[in-house]
């Protein structure tokens, strides 16, 4: 069934109370792709492909209950995200070794796309629609590590309302779909809402003030952080890491490498992976965190540098890696008057500071 906006709807027999799936068709007109070395570096270096296994966001909001969301996050990790179409032409600058082929270079493009929607029925509650939003940064190649979040209408409404209260001048011309009494689950309503949600997120991400707002930050990660904390309290670090990695990948697409929220997310991920004796990705994320911290001077961020270094010293020792350089960094910090001895663990420091 074809809907406005290029959505394809397929209805399934009731299964786990999830009834509808929406997939956006690849739209060649929306994709302008050229050679982009920065994106390739991002894929190969800054975002190591170490997505962890895990347990479909079901929004089980009963107190103390897990949503089993990690499987949903993981299930979208390798989804085909449309065809990549090279943009060629006789005019315009060309970059890199592909210049002879006439390929025009474009910067990575940040995109928010509602790729899936499902109706969910929770016992003793009204059923509702959950929308899966994929966040990706496409360039010469599709983003190899898209992030996904699943949110319902009320989550988007709360985001919209909070930003209008705080930044009316920046949000005055942004449309938002109204609540409807009947037909909430109809394809046309869901399609219209999906398009509005995409435009809302696009508008927010394009403005630095909105992008850095507390309301947007809460929308992007609070649900997953709560779930990760629950899993960590049960010492199920493998489950928690799936959420934390998704948060890191998402924020890393929105902000600069050394943005505070990105570094906090990366430190949470490192601490979680390190706590799991079976994890194999702690080293790679720890190395990435060390590189990110090399040019940091923000005092709020540096509070976590000593615990990070100490974690890495122990991790390197455990892995049989040379740790002398890390120990020398700690000694240098100590000579500068920074308290190194008796420092809390990275995880404890994050929890104490309210970053977890």
Q: Which of 111-115, 159-163, 276-280 has the lowest mean pLDDT?
A: 276-280
Q: Say what the alpha-carbon torsion angle 63, 66, 69, 71 is, to the nearest 10 degrees.
A: -170
Give Dmax (Cα) for the chain.
Answer: 69
296 CB-contact burial (10 Å; exposed 0-12 / middle 13-18 / buried 19+)? middle
Q: Which of 13-17, 63-67, 114-118, 350-354 has the lowest mean pLDDT?
A: 13-17
**Residue 96: pLDDT above 80?**
no
pLDDT in tens, 187-239: 889 999 999 999 999 999 999 999 999 999 999 999 999 999 999 999 999 99
pTM across the whole model: 0.74
pLDDT in tens, 7-58: 333 323 333 344 444 444 444 444 333 333 333 343 334 444 333 333 333 3
| Residue among 20, 151, 148 nearest 76 (CA) | 148
**Buried-exposed string 204-243: b where 16+ CB fall within 10 A, e elsewhere:** bbeeeebeebebbeebbbebbbebbebbbeeebbbbbbbb
Nearest-5° Cα angle at 198, 55 to 242: 20
| Domains of the chain, earliest start first | 2-254 (3.30.1520.10), 255-356 (no CATH)
pLDDT at 184: 72
105-134: average pLDDT:
85
| Residue among 153, 171, 57, 39 nearest 107 (CA) | 39
82-109: average pLDDT:
42
Question: What's the full length of the chain, in residues?
Answer: 356
Q: Which of 63-67, 98-102, 293-297 has the lowest mean pLDDT?
A: 98-102
Q: Residue 100 has what DSSP assignment?
A: G
């Amino acid at each position: 069934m074809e809907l406005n906006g290029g959505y394809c709807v397929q209805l399934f027999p009731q299964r786990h109370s999830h009834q509808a799936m929406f997939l956006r068709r690849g739209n060649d007109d929306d994709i302008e792709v050229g050679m982009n070395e920065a994106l390739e570096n991002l894929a190969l270096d800054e975002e190591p492909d170490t997505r962890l296994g895990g347990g479909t966001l079901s929004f089980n909001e009963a107190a103390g209950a897990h949503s089993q969301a990690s499987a949903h996050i993981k299930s979208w990790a390798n989804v085909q995200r449309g065809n990549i179409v090279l943009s060629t032409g006789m005019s315009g600058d060309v970059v890199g070794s592909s210049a002879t082929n006439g390929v025009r270079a474009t910067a990575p493009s940040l995109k928010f796309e509602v790729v899936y929607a499902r109706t969910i029925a929770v016992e003793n509650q009204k059923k509702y629609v959950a929308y899966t939003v994929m966040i990706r940064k496409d360039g010469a190649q599709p983003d190899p590590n898209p992030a996904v979040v699943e949110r319902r209408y009320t989550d988007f409404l709360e985001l919209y309302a909070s930003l209008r209260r705080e930044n009316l001048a920046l949000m005055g011309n942004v449309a938002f779909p109204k609540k409807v009494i009947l037909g909430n689950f109809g394809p046309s309503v869901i399609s219209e809402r999906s398009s509005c949600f995409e435009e809302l997120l696009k508008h927010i991400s394009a403005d630095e003030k909105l992008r850095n707002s507390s309301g947007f930050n809460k929308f992007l990660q609070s649900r997953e952080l709560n779930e990760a904390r629950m899993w960590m309290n049960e010492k199920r670090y493998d489950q928690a890491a799936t959420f934390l990695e998704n948060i890191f990948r998402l924020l890393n697409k929105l902000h600069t490498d050394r943005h505070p929220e990105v570094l906090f997310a990366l430190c949470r991920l490192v601490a979680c992976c390190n706590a799991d004796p079976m994890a194999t990705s702690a080293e790679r994320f720890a190395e990435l965190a060390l590189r990110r911290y090399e040019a940091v001077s923000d005092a709020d961020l540096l509070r976590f540098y000593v615990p990070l270094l100490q974690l890495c010293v122990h991790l390197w020792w455990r892995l049989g890696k040379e740790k002398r350089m890390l120990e020398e960094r700690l000694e240098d910090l100590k000579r500068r008057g920074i308290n190194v001895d008796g420092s809390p663990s990275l995880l404890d420091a994050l929890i104490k500071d309210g970053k977890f």
